Structure 1
Amino acid sequence: MEQLALRYVERFATTEGKLVDYLMRKRRERGWAGEGPPDVAGLAARIVALGYIDDRAYAEAKAASLARRGMGARRVRQALQAARVGEDDHAAIAPQVAEAARDAALAFARRRRIGPFGDGQADRAMREKQFAAMMRAGHDSALSRRILSAEPGDMLDGDDDGGGDP
C-alpha cells in the first residue's frame, strides 16, 4: 500500500482525501492479503506529515488555475469539495478566490465573446443564454449582469475604461 501511495503522490498533484479514496479503491480492486484491514488513513496522514501532500497548496493552485480559465467562486468551491480539500484550507484561500472573482468573470466573458467583448448585437434571448453560461461557470449574478450590460470596449484587458465598475 505504501508503494502505491508513494507512486500516486509522485505522479499526481493530490489531496489527503483523494489519496485515501485512491488507496481504498485499490484495496477493493486488488484485495488485501495482510492481517486486518490496512490503515489507509494513517498511511495518508504519514505522507502528509512527510510533506509530500499539502492540501492548502493544492487548493491555492487549483483555485488560481480555475480563475485563469474564467471559473467563478462557486465552481472553485465545487472543485475543491470534489478534491476533498478540508473546510479550513478552503476558508484560508477564500479571500484569494474573492479577489480573483472579477478578473475571472472578465476572462470568461472575453473567452466566450460576451458582454463588452462581443459584437454588441446580442438580443434578449442571447443575453439570457450568456447569463446562464456565466452562472454555470460559477459567477455571482450581480457581477454577471453588470458584465453583460456593459458596452463593447468598456472593459479591455480587465481594466475599467470609465464605463462603470463591473
Structure 2
Amino acid sequence: MNADRRPPKPLDPALLEQLALRYVERFATTQGKLTDYLTRKLRERGWAGERPADAAGLAARMAERGYVDDRAYAEAKAASLARRGLGARRVQQALHAARVGAEDSEALAGQVAENARDAALAFARRRRIGPFGDGAADRAVREKQFAAMMRAGHAPGLARRIVAAGPGELFEEEF
C-alpha cells in the first residue's frame, strides 16, 4: 500500500446520498442490504455531518422513491434460485441473508412451494440424479444423491422419490 496516500474524505449527507444512489443503480438490493452497505461506509470513512448519520432513514427514503423494492428483489431472487434447482429451505435462507422482511418472504412462500417439484427436477437433471442418471446407482451413491438434494433445500419425501427413480422412469404426473 502506498504510504503517502491520503485517507478518504469523511462522509457528509450529500456524499452519503451519492453513495446510496450509486449502489442502487448498480445492484439489485434490499433496504437491509443498503443499510448495511451505508453503515459500513460510515464506519470506514467517518462522518462529518452536523447531525448523526441515519443510514436506515436514507435506505427508507430510497425505498419510498422506488429505487429499492424488497418484494421485487425477493421475487427475482426466488425465481433465480428455483431455476438453479434450489429448494424452498435454501430460498428462504437466501432471502433471510439478503435481509428481506418476513412479510415479503412469507408472501412468496406459496410461489416457492408451487415450484418445489420443478426446482427439484432441475437440480436432479443438473446433477444427474435418479431418473436423469446414467445407470442404476448403488446404495452409497443414492445416499450421497439424497444428501445433495437435502443440502439444496428440497423436502425429504420429494428427494427420496427422485433419488429412488431409475433412469428414464420419471413421469410428469408422478411428482
Q: 4+ residue stretches of structure 1 with deviation over 6 A? A: none
* 2:99 aligned with 1:87: no
Aligned partners of 1:91 and 1:78: how far apart in 2?
12
Partner of 1:146: 161
Aligned partners of 1:126 and 1:152: how far apart in 2?
14
Partner of 1:102: 117
State the AA in 1 paired with 2:48: A
CA RMSD of superposed structures (Å): 1.0
* 2:36 aligned with 1:21: yes
State the AA in 1 paired with 2:158: L
Aligned partners of 1:69 and 1:41: how far apart in 2?
32
* 2:69 aligned with 1:54: yes
Aligned partners of 1:108 and 1:93: how far apart in 2?
20
Aligned partners of 1:147 and 1:120: how far apart in 2?
14
Gapped regions of structure 1 (runs ≥ 5): none
Offset of 1:113 from its aligned partner?
0.3
Partner of 2:4: none
Offset of 1:108 from its aligned partner?
0.2
State the AA in 1 paired with 2:159: S
Partner of 1:32: 47
Offset of 1:46 from its aligned partner?
0.6
Offset of 1:34 from its aligned partner?
1.3
TM-score by length of 1: 0.93
TM-score by length of 2: 0.89
Partner of 1:75: 90
1:29-77 Cα deviation digits (max 9, x unpaired) = 1111112421111111110000011100000000000000000000000
- How many residue pairs end up in the alignment? 160
Gapped regions of structure 2 (runs ≥ 5): 1-15
Aligned partners of 2:122 and 2:164: how far apart in 1?
16
Of 108, 118, 140, the residue aligned with 1:125 is: 140
State the AA in 2 paired with 1:47: M
1:108-139 Cα deviation digits (max 9, x unpaired) = 00000010000232110000000000000000
Offset of 1:26 from its aligned partner?
0.3
State the AA in 2 paired with 1:2: E
Is this contact kept in 1: 2:33–2:99, CA < 8 A? yes
